[in-house]
Amino acid sequence: MVNDDTYVYFNYAKNFVNGNYFAYDSRKIPSEGFTSLIYLLLLIPFEYIKFPLPVAGFFINSTALILSGFFLLKAINLNTSKKSNGVLAAILFVSFCFIDKNITGIIGWTFETLLNLLCFLIMIYGCVRIKTSQKGTLLLFIIYFISILIRPENIVIFSPFLLYVLLIFADKIKYIRHFIYFLSVFIAYLLVKYLIFGDIFPTGFYRKMSSPGLLNKDGILYVKDFLLEYKFHIIFIILATIGFKILKKDEKFIDKNIIISSVIICFVTILFFLKSNPLIGVHFRYLINIMGMIYILMSFIIIQIFSNKRGVLLAGIAILQIGKTSANVRNNIFSFIPDTETQINQHKYIQLGKYFNENIKNPGDIYFAFGDAGAIPYSFSCKFIDLNGLSEPYLAKLVSNKNSSLKTELYIRYLNKYKPDIIVILNGEENQKNPVLLHGPLQKPNEYRSFLKNLSENGYLYGGTIKAYYKLHIALNKNSKNFEELSNVLKKYSQYENLSDHSGKFIINFDAGNIQFNSINTNLK
C-alpha cells in the first residue's frame, strides 16, 4: 500500500493544480515539505489530468529503474566491442532489482527513490564517457544539479565523485568552466528558492536528521541492518572477485571507472548516513545507490561465469531463475495497477478524510491539526496544520531552537493564532506515559505537556478516539463556530469510541503531572 508520507507529494501536486503553488493548503504558505522538486514536478501533470497519482508514481519509479539499466548498458558499451556484454549486464541488473523486495517495496510505496538510482547510473555513464572520449562534463554537472533537486543530500554525496572526474579529465580549464556554469545556475536556483520559501537550505523538518556528534546511533543501526540484510550478496561478490583474481579471468569489458565511481559514491553515502538520522528510511531507500552497486557487480560476475565454458550450466540456471522470479514480479506489478483504487479506498486516513470532506458543510473552513501530514489532508480539503512542522516552515525552524521554554512558548503561540477546530492530542495507546512529538519540535515530555495544558485550559474538549493505523485521540475547540457540527459529524463515524474515564475526563499521563481534557459529553459509540 502507498505510504502515508508519499501522500505529502500528492497533496502538494493537488494544491499546485488548484493554484496554491508550493503550498499545502488554501492558506498558500509556501513550504518545502516535498523534499524532491523533480518528483513533485513529474507528478503535477498526472494530477492535472486526474490520473491516479499512486499509479503515476509507480510508473515513474519503474521507468527510472529501466532507464538505469539502459545507462549501465551504455557505460559498458563505451569500453567494449562485444555489445552483448552490455545488453546482458543491463538485463541482469534490472532483473536483480525487480527481484529485490526492498526495491519493489520502494516502487510500491511510490517514493522518489528510483530517480536517485537513475542519477547514480547516469553519472557513472558520464564518468566512463569522459575517460574514454574526454566529452560530457557539462552533462555531468547537469545531472549533478538534477540529483540535488531529487535529494538535497546529493550535493554532499556526489561531490567527491566530481573531484575524481576532475582528476581523470585532461582539459582542467574546460572542467572548471563547466563547474562555474553549474555554480551560476545553482546560485540562481538558491535565490529563487529564497524568494519563494524564505530559506536556501532544506526545510527545517529535515535539518534535524543531522547529529551533533561524530556519528548518529540511528544511522549506525540503519547501516548495520542494511549490511546484515545484504550480507550474502556482499560475501558472494568478495568470494567471486577473489576467485577471478586467482584464475586470472579477463575482465577487460568492465571499465574500472564504473567500479571506482560506484565505490566513491557508495562510500560517501554510508558516511553520510552514519552521521544522520534516516527518517522514514523504509526499505533502506536512502541506500538505494549501494543496492545498485551490489547488483552491478553481481551482473558482472554472472557474465564472467558465463564466459567460462565450465560455468555455462551454472549461469544458465541462474538466468532461468532470474527470469522465473521476474515473471512473478511482473505479475505482481500488473496486479498493482487495478488494485490501486481499492488500496486507496482502504487507506484508513483516506477513509477518515473523505468522511470529513463529505459530511462537513464547508470543509475548507476547518483547521485540522495533526502530525501525520499525508493522506488526511489529501482527501480532506481543510486547512491542515502539521504539528511536526513538515509543511509549516515556522514550526520546522523551531526544531533547532535549543531554548526549550522559548521554543514551547513560540509553538503554542503559533497554534493559538490559528485556533484549530480539530486537533489530534495523542497518538497510540491512551495509557502511554510522557508522550512527545517524536518527529516535531516538542521532543521532550515537558514541552509537549505544556502544549497540551494550554489546549486544555483554552477550551479544547476530548471528543473521542478513532481507530486508524493506531488510535487517534481527538479534541475539539468548543469556541469554534463549527463545534456543534463537528461534534455531530464525529458521533456518526462508525469507527468512533469514547475513552474518557468515569468522571468524563480524558487523561494524558506525565510524570510532571497528568493533563486532563473534559469530554464533549456526547453519546458516542
Q: What is the tens place of the pLDDT at every residue in 243-272?
A: 777 766 655 556 677 788 888 888 888 888
Contacts of 76 (CB under 8 A, 6+ apart): 85, 86, 89, 90, 253, 254, 255, 258
Q: In 3D, which of 184, 68, 163, 177 has the Cα closest to residue 124? A: 68
- Predicted pLDDT of residue 420: 93
The whole-number pLDDT of residue 95 equals 87
Whole-number Å distance between alpha carbons of 299 and 198: 46
Pairing label, strands 460-467, 471-477: antiparallel
H-only helix segments in 308-424: 312-346, 348-359, 375-379, 393-398, 404-418
What single letter denotes the amino acid at residue 411?
A: Y
Residue 429, C-alpha cell as written in the block:
495507546
The low-confidence residues of the chain, meaning pLDDT below 70, are 1-2, 80-83, 202-213, 247-255, 307-345, 494-502, 521-525
**pLDDT for position 109:** 83
Closest CA to 384 of 336, 429, 349: 349
Q: Give all strands of the β-sheet with 496-497 in edge-to-edge order.
A: 383-386, 367-370, 422-427, 471-477, 460-467, 496-497
Copy the grid coordinates of residue 407.
521554543
The overall average pLDDT reported for the chain is 83
258-282: b (≥16 Cβ within 10 Å) or e: bbbbbebbbebbbbbbbbbbbeebe
d(CA 377, CA 20): 14
**Angle of helix 101-109 versus helix 83-99 axis, rounded to 10:** 70
pLDDT in tens, 135-190: 788 889 999 999 999 988 899 899 998 888 888 888 889 889 999 999 999 999 99
Place of cell 552497486: 293
pLDDT at 111 (0 to 100): 87
How far is residue 160 from each of residues 44, 144, 281, measured CA to CA in Å?
33, 12, 24
* H, E, C per residue of 180-193: HHHHHHHHHHHHHH
- For 172, 204, 215, 216, 505, the CA distances from 212, given in Å and listed in that order, are 37, 15, 8, 8, 41
Per-residue confidence (pLDDT) for residue 147, from 0 to 100: 93
Q: What is the reported pLDDT for 525? A: 39
Q: Write down the pLDDT at residue 454.
A: 92
